[in-house]
Amino acid sequence: MDQQKLTLVKCPQCGVPVVWSDISPFRPFCNKRCQLIDLGEWEKGEKSISNVLDISDD
């Protein structure tokens, strides 16, 4: 019987390992709380994308 390897990622908020599959509905977060904390940080401007990429064909 084939066993698939589980892909684990760390929750970006608290660092808890999270299985990357349908069994983890909040992935990459471990739970709704960590997801909402992260969303709040983006909304407050505490997180942002630092650089704008130039994707022109020059």
* 11 Cα distance to chain centroid: 7
Instruction: Select from 3.30.2130.10, 1.10.1740.10, 3.30.50.10, 3.40.449.10 the CATH code of 8-43.
Output: 3.30.50.10
pLDDT at 19: 96
pLDDT at 13: 97
| 7 in Cβ contact with 21 (< 8 Å) | yes
pLDDT at 3: 58
The whole model's pTM is what?
0.72
On whether 30 is known to bind a ligand per the annotation, the reply is yes
On whether 14 is known to bind a ligand per the annotation, the reply is yes
On whether 35 is known to bind a ligand per the annotation, the reply is no
pLDDT, tens only, 13-58: 999 999 999 999 999 999 999 999 999 999 999 988 877 776 776 5
Burial class (CB in 10 A: 0-12, 13-18, 19+), 25: exposed
pLDDT at 2: 47
